[in-house]
Amino acid sequence: MKFSCERDVLLEALTVASRAVTGRGGSLPVLSGVRLEVSEDNLYVAGSDLDLTIRVRTEVKGDGDGVCVLPARTVTEITRALEPGAVTIESDDDEARLSSGRYQSSLRALPAADFPRVPALAEAGGGVNEGTVSLDVGDIGQALRQVVRAASSDDARPILTGVLMATEEGGLRLVATDSYRLAIRDLPGRSVLAEGQQVLIPSKALAELQRLLPSVSEVRLAFGEHDATFDLAGVRLTTRLIEGEFPNYRQLVPASYPNRLVVDRDEIQGALRRVRLLARDATTPIRLALRPETVELSVVTSDVGQASEDVDAKYDGSEMTVAFNPGYLVDGIEATSTDEVSIETIDALRPAIIRGTGSEEFLYLLMPVRVS
């Protein structure tokens, strides 16, 4: 195998593919590597941790087809350190030789036969649905920004590390929860799954997809029996689906709320940013005192001090004080996409709902924190 290409082109391909490489190489050393395959003037770079595989295609000057697997971190760091210009990689069964300008190095190759199989997009169909569907990049990008943040990062509860995709009234619904908060986003008219079907996609994979979306104009999605494949311009992301029953999230959302606060999104974000500076850590609660014309945000930390700020708001309901985890509250407000946000409550102990005013497509439910 032999090819040449510009350093920046190779570095981008290695960086994107390496995002799927994890520290699991101890049990299977080849997982610490990236697979480079040359076919004519195309280079395919793939990284995988068995659950997530990212493959990048880029054009190069090929001078011999073939495959090799190289240590991901090492080859990426070498490429990043090179001067701008052409880079040549040539490999045989045991090693790869990398050269650029006056620089030369050789790397021991990992066994290519042990690398996980990278499925073609066409092979991803025939499971949950047939063939591929095209998704609007703007819509799916905003939906992922709003929902993925609510998924758990605790692998001890794998079901909660996923994002539920399901059909809902002829459209697509995305749902995530870590048991302290719940995010729901509807995409009306987006038919991805068959009626009544649902899948659970790892939030890690969707976070990587979210990073790739700004640079493309189209994304295609295909479901297999056990995986989902997203095909973007030059990048293919395949992830294993999570098996199991997602929690019954519908029963968590109350039918109505007697108390409703409406506040300017930028103003409450600014106040939150300033007030939480006095929080000792991320779990120190922020109190919201709900009043007819204002909402007072405050933090009390015994060994640091206290801070408060009033923000003009419209409030309908009984005066009360409710407290939230500051990070989760900031996430919910940031996820809205309108100039004003509403915070709806029943009382200080039951879940609150955050929405963008005039928008029914996104809902963020947040459990309050009990304070004395």
Average pLDDT, integer, range 338-367: 94
Residue 119: the pLDDT is 65
Residue 93: the pLDDT is 81
Digit-coded pLDDT (tens) for 248-301 = 999 989 888 999 999 999 999 999 999 999 887 777 899 999 999 999 999 998
Indicate whether 231 pLDDT > 80. yes
Instruction: Compute the distance between CA of residue 262 and CA of residue 342 in angstroms, rounded to an integer.
Output: 4
The SS3 assignment for 75 reads helix
Residue 283: the pLDDT is 76
Average pLDDT, integer, range 174-185: 96
Instruction: Compute the distance between CA of residue 269 and CA of residue 264 in angstroms, rounded to an integer.
Output: 9
For strands 86-91 and 294-301, give the pairing: unpaired
Digit-coded pLDDT (tens) for 155-173 = 899 999 999 999 887 789 9
Instruction: Compute the distance between CA of residue 263 and CA of residue 266 in angstroms, rounded to an integer.
Output: 9
Element (H, E) at 104: strand 103-108
Which domains are assigned to the chain? Answer: 2-114 (3.10.150.10), 123-250 (3.10.150.10), 253-366 (3.10.150.10)
Digit-coded pLDDT (tens) for 79-126 = 999 999 999 999 998 999 999 999 999 999 999 999 998 765 444 444
Digit-coded pLDDT (tens) for 293-336 = 999 999 998 888 999 999 999 999 999 999 999 999 999 999 99
Q: What are phi and psi of 336, to 5 degrees?
A: -70, 160
DSSP letter assigned to residue 112: G
Residue 127: the pLDDT is 47
Residue 126: the pLDDT is 43
> What's the CA angle centered on 63, arms 62 and 66, to 5 degrees?
80
Q: How far is CA 196 from CA 173, 192, 265, in A?
A: 12, 11, 36
Longest dimension (CA), the chain: 75
List the single range of 129-143, 179-193, 341-355 with lowest mean pLDDT: 129-143
Which residues pair with residue 230 across a beta bridge?
221, 237
Q: How far is CA 242 from CA 54, 61, 94, 133, 293, in A?
A: 18, 39, 36, 21, 46
Mean pLDDT of the chain: 91
Residue 107: the pLDDT is 96
Which residues pair with residue 33 across a beta bridge?
71
